[in-house]
Structure 1
Amino acid sequence: MGSDFMLRFNIRQIEAFRAVIETGNMTQAGEVLGVTQPAISRLIRDLEEEYGLQLFARHAGRIDPTKDAIAFHAEVERCYGELEQMVKFATELGAHRKKRLRLASTVGHSYFFLPEVIKTFHARWPDVVISLVSGPSPEVVEHVEKGRCDIGLALLPLNVHGVAIKTMPETNLVCVMPKDHALAKLNSVAPQDLKETPLLLISESSLMRKRLLKAFNEANVTPNVILDSTYTGPICSLVASGMGVSIMDILTADAYSNLEIEIRPFSPSIPCELKLVLPESQVLAPPAQAFVEILMERAR
């Protein structure tokens, strides 16, 4: 159903059909399109004959749409909606005064890291419309690979292809505890310090959790996990309430530093592996390049 099909379709016939459906008669449809009533009748008749349809039941002085006409009209409207979106997209591409920046990010970083970056970017590029989608790292990569987003923020390594990966300033995992916790007296926290300590951790499927458990195994310590969560936000709130201790990336921990928590380095060092995901063979537009620069500044 490619271009050959579209070329066979007479757009004027479709416009006449839409006008008749919307006005209820051929005379008014002709007025809408700036043609005569006989011209409308001919366009409708040609459309019916070409595709073997009966679109209208003709009675004395009036016409009524058939079931085929009602079904066909729904499809016509859907296609017109897509055409309007295409025209809008083309207009935005060509208009320098209105640009769009499409972002994808892991859920946690879209809450705790990106807001300040987006705020700074908007202050410098107020005419750019920003869209943000959140999801797991594999989905972030897919959004950029498929061209649905311009920039992605994901936790890697992953088996990625079709995208370019830009390394961000390295950050490590940290230990987060209630302000009055005994661990707050330490300069850094190791697995041996966490024996029997109730732990609230990111979900088992995450790369961060797997690296963390490896460190515990190497120290011959079995972590006392009492809660795991898909997102780190609730974990910080529960830590502040005194429920337990957590280990997470420092960007998220810093975002919650206003709570009743203390943050200490975790030993051994475990890198967060937060990366920028960019189109593989496409030069970034000026707004996207500016956003990357602001994001890198914020991560340092």
Structure 2
Amino acid sequence: MNLALIEIFSAVMKTGSTTRAATLLGISQPGVSRGLKRLEDTTKLKLFERSGPRLTATPEALLLYREVQAAHAGLDRLRQAAARIREVGTGSLKVASSAALGLSFMPRVIAKYLKRRPAVSITFEISGSSAVRDLVASGLFDFGLCADEIDTTNLVAEPFIESYGVCVFRRGHALESKRIVSPSDLHQERLICLAPEDTARKQLDRHLAVAGISPRMIVETQFSATVCQLALEGAGVGVANVLSYVSEGYEKAGLIARPLVPTVNFVTLQIVPPQRARSRLVDEFAADLIQERDKLLQDCSQYHPDRVL
């Protein structure tokens, strides 16, 4: 199989469009389209549904991309091993995080860390919790933060932070007058939620079912930051992780948050590869994480249900 075609396919899956994939690869957009067609002909697989300029990955494409990622991880491990042999003593750190803490919180920690360790090279990846888990379990990355819904087999995992859900909506919404939001308040609201497989979403669904409430689920998405942004744009009322609401600065942007009762709980794990002695670089990074975590929890405390009940 032509590796160039695999790189084109990987770039399209990563960026979501042939135009952005072409920019990433430094080739023309028609070249990307031709490459995808050749790959489909070679593999005898239909990889994308086409509707005008839009591409939608098929289930076959998702399965193939999973195998491509695994192959890339293996190649990256070989490159890292060669680099370590060639540059003994050069400090490097590879960290991954889910979006809840990856978009703003983790960059702050990295910036703080690099002020003390300017010679260290850091690779930082934001991805879904399952992908973060795979990066760390494979040994490709040194440290990860992800939701507790992952399989912790072949990992050293421990709780890093526990948080809770808040109901978010634009200023002026009727819910702004309430100190807390209950499931009954969401009746017939246009609701923006996390994906059905998310553990926090499952808790929310149970609370709604117990209350006999059936809101209109208008958007389901993987990340709390996306929930907040959609609510800010006026798409509806969202239920998001308070960590995303606070760390992304949505209060200053005009988005209102109210505690959700009964609570929807989020647990973030910190994970490291098994059977590997933790380096001093990782330990120092983890210490910076804890300091910033405690500051974030303090900022979030005003939205805790216990503060308003």
TM-score normalised by length of structure 1: 0.67
1:284 aligns with 2:272: no
* Whole-Å separation in 1 of the counterparts to 2:193 and 2:78: 47
- One-letter identity of the residue aligned with 2:175: L
In 2, Cα distance between equivalents of 1:153 and 1:83: 24
Structure 1 residue 128 and structure 2 residue 120: aligned? yes
Deviation at 1:86? 4.3
Distance 1:83 1:157 in 2: 30
Cα deviation per residue 1:128-152 (whole Å; 9 max; x = unaligned)? 1110223221221121111101101
Report the equivalent of 1:27: none
Structure 2: distance between partners of 1:88 and 1:119: 24
In 1, distance between residues paired with 2:219 and 2:124?
Answer: 29
Q: Aligned equivalents of 2:79 and 2:98: distance in 1?
A: 32
Which of 177-186 and 229-238 deviates more?
229-238
Match in the other structure for 2:266: 272
- Which of 79, 85, 88 is the aligned partner of 2:83? 88
In structure 2, do the counterparts of structure 1 residues 84 and 279 end up closer, same or farther at CA, with 3 Å as the change threshold?
closer
- Between the aligned partners of 1:167 and 1:84, the Cα distance in structure 2 is 32
The answer (yes or no) to whether the contact 1:112–1:251 under 8 Å persists in 2 is: no
Partners of 2:213 and 2:79 in 1: CA distance: 61
Q: Distance in 1 between matches of 2:122 and 2:101?
A: 16
Selected match of 2:287 from 290, 293, 296: 293
Contact 1:202 1:229 in 2 (8 A): yes
The number of aligned residues is 217
* Pairwise CA RMSD: 2.2
> Which residue of structure 2 lines up, in the alignment, with residue 240 of structure 1?
232
1:242: Cα distance to partner? 2.4
Mark the runs of 5 or more structure 1 residues left unpaired by the alignment. Answer: 1-81
Percent of matched pairs sharing the same residue: 24
Distance in 1, Cα, partners of 2:79 & 2:258? 54
CA distance in 2, matches of 1:266, 1:84: 47
Question: Does the CA-based 8 Å contact 2:166-2:241 persist in structure 1?
Answer: yes
* Structure 2, unaligned runs of 5 or more: 1-76, 295-309
Alpha-carbon offset, residue 220 of structure 1? 1.6
Q: Distance in 1 between matches of 2:162 and 2:178?
A: 23
Whose radius of gyration is greater, 1 or 2?
1
The Cα shift of 1:164 comes to: 1.1
- Once the two structures are TM-superposed, the CA of residue 282 in structure 1 deviates from its matched residue by 2.5
Give the Å deviation of 1:186. Answer: 1.5
TM-score (norm 2): 0.65
1: distance between equivalents of 2:216 and 2:262? 18
Please give the residue correspondences for 1:67-106 in structure 2 after superposition, counting only pairs within 5 Å: 86-92=81-87, 94-95=88-89, 98-106=90-98
Cα pair 2:136 2:142 within 8 Å, conserved: yes
